[in-house]
Amino acid sequence: MEKEELVELAKQARKLSYSPYSHFAVGAVVECKDGSTYQGANIENSSYPLCMCAERNAIYNAMMHGQTRDDFVAMALTADTDGPCSPCGACRQVLSELFPSDAPIYMSNLHGDIQETNTTELLPFAFNGDDL
């Protein structure tokens, strides 16, 4: 799938965001080898630590449908930001373990800006299972 198509799916997912506190809606989508896609949006809660980001929601959605790290080929995320939206630290940590290190992650915004990265660039010294 082209990166622009993935970004469009992330924009659609963003519409499902529940963000009454921050008013910062984020959408994400994961593409798998079999062509399936799994969307996620950020879901907030008045107890802020209980919120769930779009990127983690998309990854967990895919995994709950039987997909694994080996199935993931790309991810896109988007928000209404000046430049491409970047994953938070918690999402970077989860992506470093559950998303292939060389798979493209397309960070974008609603203005058409897209920046490609990967988990190694997002979190170069990630804490992982080898550290336990």
Task: Give the catalytic positions in this structure.
Answer: 55
Maximum Cα–Cα distance across the chain: 42
Residue-level length of the chain: 132
- Token duo for residue 14: 């963003």
Q: Of 87, 130, 88, which is closest to residue 105 (Cα–Cα)?
A: 87
> For 31-77, what is the HEC assignment?
EECCCCEEEEECECCCCHHHCECHHHHHHHHHHHCCCCHHHEEEEEE
